[in-house]
Amino acid sequence: MVRKGLGVSGMPRGLWFVAGAATLFIYGVVVNLPGWDFGRLLGVYLALFFVAAQVISYFAFAQGPTMPILVGGAFIVIGGLIMTFWQGAST
């Protein structure tokens, strides 16, 4: 949304910036609600951020992911799932 705001002028620019800030705030609240430890939270955060960025890139900018992005993104998402659901012993 901020990127979109940088491409326009006047009142729409400010609205895009406010929408971007509000979205980032809501996103920050949602990923912090579970109360997980920071390491687990960071894994989930990065995976969600990657997926959200690709969806926005596709719909807002008509830029589909390339094969390297899909393969690398699969590793990001798999890593986030491992950090979220692996029930190993605590240190």
pLDDT digits (tens, 9 = 90+) for 36-54: 787 777 888 889 889 989 9
Give the range with max mean pLDDT: 24-28, 30-34, 70-74: 70-74
Stated pTM of the model: 0.67
Instruction: Report CA 9 to chain centroid distance, whole Å.
Output: 26
Determine phi and psi for 62, rounding to 5 degrees: 55, 40
Q: What is the largest CA-CA distance in the chain?
A: 55
Could you tell me how many residues make up the chain? Answer: 91
Locate all alpha helices (DSSP H) within the chain, ordered by sequence.
Answer: 2-6, 11-32, 38-61, 67-85
The one-letter code for the residue type at 71 is: V
What is the rounded distance in angstroms from the CA atom of residue 30 to the CA atom of residue 9? Answer: 31
Q: Which residues contact 15 (CB under 8 A, 6 or more apart)?
A: 5
Mean pLDDT of 6-11: 88
